Structure 1
Amino acid sequence: MTYGVKVPISGFPEWLPSQRMIEQYVLDKIRSTFELYGFAPLETRAVESIDTLLSKGETSKEVYLLRRLQEDENSTKEDQLGLHFDLTVPFARFVTENHGKLQFPFRRYQIQKVWRGERPQEGRYREFLQADIDVVNRDTLPFHFDTEMPLVIGDAFRSLPIPKAVIQVNNRKVCEGFYRGLGLEDTAQVLRTVDKLDKIGPEKVAALLVETAGATDAQARLCLKLAEISTSDASFVDHVKALKVDDPLLDEGLDELRQVVEAANEHAPGLIRAELKIARGLDYYTGTVYETQLEGYERFGSICSGGRYENLASVGNTRFPGVGISIGVSRMLGLLFGRDALTVSRSVPTAVVIALPSEDERANCERIAAGLRRRGVPTEVAPTAAKFGKQIQFADRRGIPFVWFPGADGHSVKDIRSGEQVDADPQTWMPPADDLRPQIKGL
């Protein structure tokens, strides 16, 4: 079968090799940070039952169904499977199925593809890679895990050559308690409406609050006043108190949010910002919620989000509350690739090419290459015994810094960037550390 040039399928990114190397570098940094905090790796299946996927919020329009081309006429709705749209729902299912084998609190990280039927646009895809961390416990989860999440993500982002990341944090108890203190009963509807603030603006949000949540104009104005509060320290507490709305749940949420902000400021000043308009769309969040923006890319929204959930997983009368946060790896990289904000020093891992004097010498050249590889030097042998000038051009076009010249009386290696050529022993030679692996750089 032959394939001609076809239009790419929208929303399913395929990175070039150089971009894929950047992605792998980013994943390695994220993974190592997660493991430094004691999170264990996990991978769940790509599919879940439709009932599982649709039980956790308003996601039915986003779910991709999985079925055979020749559908079984006896199949029922209970047999239907869908591709997971996030990693939290399958993680919760995994916990309920394996709780007898797990040690709690259970800390896991998960780096996998997910699928979501959204309209593709810059930085938003239908198939994308997420990197999640979650902590779950049996019955109750101490609040200090909520304060830990931003610290892990902050360390992961600081290990990468990307713009500064600011984690915006809120607590749904603050919002729900405030709305309850105002006398608004349908707090879930108010949350969903306020969550649209950045998309439709305050005037339309106020009108929707009156229309869909039964708010008066005065109540809608106070909801917007709360959403305007934004501080980099714990002063948000005083700003909320100044609105003179009282409710025990509001007080509890303010105290929890203060703990998150103060812990982050002690760990990394400037990492976090209390942003009281943040609500998060998914219905399973019950307390702390996080969203993260990159400086210079704010108009594209969050590239890392999550929160606390009390009721996502349960077995009988036993609940497994948790808190988690997810990095949208493909989303973040897509935005940075679109601005050429990440570069790699060469398009292949190879650090040195063994020049081939003639095809008769190929076996000897392969032995030299094998010796270098055993010592961790990425090496390949030139594809043909062309003139040495063309073999140097072959290396240069791919960004490979060194060419190795074998000889009966000794070997030499040439740095084709500077033109310097020196004698080299295949048993001991190593490239400079910065040339051993491709270097990833940001703007």
Structure 2
Amino acid sequence: MARPTPLSGFPEWLPDGRLVEQHVLDVLRRTFELHGFAGIETRAVEPLDQLLRKGETSKEVYVLRRLQEDAGAEPDRAGTLGLHFDLTVPFARYVLENAGHLAFPFRRYQIQKVWRGERPQDGRFREFVQADIDVVGAGALPYHYEVELPLVMAEALGALREIGVPPVRILVNNRKVAEGFYRGLGLTDVDAVLRNIDKLDKIGADAVAALLVEEAGADQAQARACLELASISGSDETVVARVRDLAVTSNELLDEGLEELGALLRAAAARAPGVVVADLKIARGLDYYTGSVYETVLVGHEQLGSICSGGRYDTLASDGANTYPGVGLSIGVSRLVSRLIGGGLVTTTRSVPSAVLVAVSTEEARDRSDAVAATLRARGIPVEVAPSAAKFGKQIRHADRRGIPFVWFVGEDGADQVKDIRSGEQVDADAATWAPAEADLWPRVVPA
């Protein structure tokens, strides 16, 4: 059989990389639960008509079908299933289906794989893990949740600093500020303005200005004003004053957005100083965002793009009679982990869980080694037994290749002994009482 060729865009980590990913997921899960978010998991597929109701993602959806379809069956978009490309659409459907069983505001976290048929590149995959948090209300959701959620994410990502994850910057904006400002200029096609402002980092200010004239109906002065708004950034409330100075006219929507943005910056300055920064060019392309929007970058790795994004939405989950507004953020876990591994930012103390290899003197005496291993495992110590009764030197080399720090020798007539193969120290040991140092008990993820 020929050696298989890896599939581009479908990451498979080696054991030490998987340890990094598991550590990241454990930290995120623990932080989310500390803040009262309940974990859920949704199915991998959704009806295609639901996945494509916005229309712009049709090229990215993987369609699910049987290899052998029923003879004569007509294609039915409503009945066709597609793999979900994010966790937001499945969550909206989950809320609608289970609203009668949920207590609102409902706080949820969800960590799952998603699938997206885009071109693989640095940090972008076709199959990847996301970690989402959302708070959803029934009929209404107070603004303070738009302040709380980015600060929860700041705490979760900050908890990863101890393993070598770079600091993060959470860039925030408010759609009400943008829309109120654009309407004050006399622009009515707000979606077109937002769509083109969102391209600033990719194509530059001159190209965006031309698009604002061509596609959003702006004149040159209006286009310049939109770009001036997008250039405003800062981590304190002077941002609010600068927008007011720039605005041609004030209106209720702009005032409301600036009040909300100021509240977020005040809270962030107190609870996560230097982490949250207002950046008024953040537009977020998805048109269901209605309030705060967020993007998060790793400091020093900005070229990777946002590793965590989201915002406020008011109409994503609605059955016509009831609306469930919410706010949420999503971490691209695979994007983050790929940079940690590929950039050599973190390492592991070993790639296997085993702290001890129990040596086997003869195959006839293997049961004695198995008994020692069972005693150690019962006390919470990860152990494996040597694969063969080779010479002890060979068994020690086997442990060394696997990164196992201790080798246990079962005594023939006297006491058992355990050897730290890193230092060469060998001491008498009893399986009922001996334990490795805490740092050696399980593999750890540490800064490289």
TM-score normalized by structure 1? 0.98
**Offset at residue 4 of structure 1 (A):** 2.3
Among candidates 42, 45, 53, match of residue 44 of structure 1: 42
Identical counterparts, % of pairs: 63
**Contact 1:58 1:283 (C-alpha < 8 Å) held by counterparts:** no
Q: RMSD value over aligned CA atoms? A: 1.1
Matching residue of 1:417: 422
| Structure 1 stretches lacking a partner, 5+ long | none
Structure 1 position 318 matched with structure 2 position 333: no
Matching residue of 1:240: 243
Amino acid at match of 2:52: L
**Offset at residue 74 of structure 1 (A):** 2.2
Matching residue of 1:188: 191
Among candidates 271, 276, 291, match of residue 267 of structure 1: 271
**Offset at residue 280 of structure 1 (A):** 0.8
1: CA distance, partners of 2:116 / 2:192: 23
Instruction: State the Cα deviation string for residues 284-303 of structure 1 (Å, max 9, x = none).
Output: 11111110000111011100
1: CA distance, partners of 2:321 / 2:264: 30
2: CA distance, partners of 1:159 / 1:340: 19
- Compare 253-262 and 67-76 and name the one that shifted more: 67-76
**Offset at residue 264 of structure 1 (A):** 1.6
1: CA distance, partners of 2:54 / 2:316: 8
**Contact 2:418 2:429 (C-alpha < 8 Å) held by counterparts:** yes
Instruction: State the Cα deviation string for residues 157-180 of structure 1 (Å, max 9, x = none).
Output: 122120001111111111111111
Aligned residue for 2:103, secondary structure, equals coil
2: CA distance, partners of 1:125 / 1:178: 36
1: CA distance, partners of 2:242 / 2:12: 47
2: CA distance, partners of 1:235 / 1:388: 70
2: CA distance, partners of 1:274 / 1:171: 9
TM-score normalized by structure 2? 0.97
Matches for 1:292-311 after TM superposition, within 5 Å: 292-311=296-315
**Contact 1:57 1:282 (C-alpha < 8 Å) held by counterparts:** no
Aligned length: 441
**Offset at residue 317 of structure 1 (A):** 2.0
1: CA distance, partners of 2:97 / 2:273: 40
Structure 1 position 69 matched with structure 2 position 40: no
Runs of 4+ off more than 4 Å: none
Aligned residue for 2:223, secondary structure, equals helix
1: CA distance, partners of 2:244 / 2:59: 39
1: CA distance, partners of 2:208 / 2:430: 71
| Structure 2 stretches lacking a partner, 5+ long | none
Aligned residue for 1:318, secondary structure, equals coil
2: CA distance, partners of 1:251 / 1:43: 39
Matching residue of 1:283: 287
Structure 1 position 226 matched with structure 2 position 229: yes
Structure 1 position 344 matched with structure 2 position 348: yes
Amino acid at match of 2:209: A
**Offset at residue 208 of structure 1 (A):** 0.5
**Contact 1:353 1:403 (C-alpha < 8 Å) held by counterparts:** yes
1: CA distance, partners of 2:54 / 2:278: 26
Matching residue of 2:128: 128
1: CA distance, partners of 2:158 / 2:365: 48
Matching residue of 1:335: 339
**Contact 1:56 1:89 (C-alpha < 8 Å) held by counterparts:** no
**Offset at residue 244 of structure 1 (A):** 3.0
Matching residue of 1:58: 56
2: CA distance, partners of 1:326 / 1:96: 20
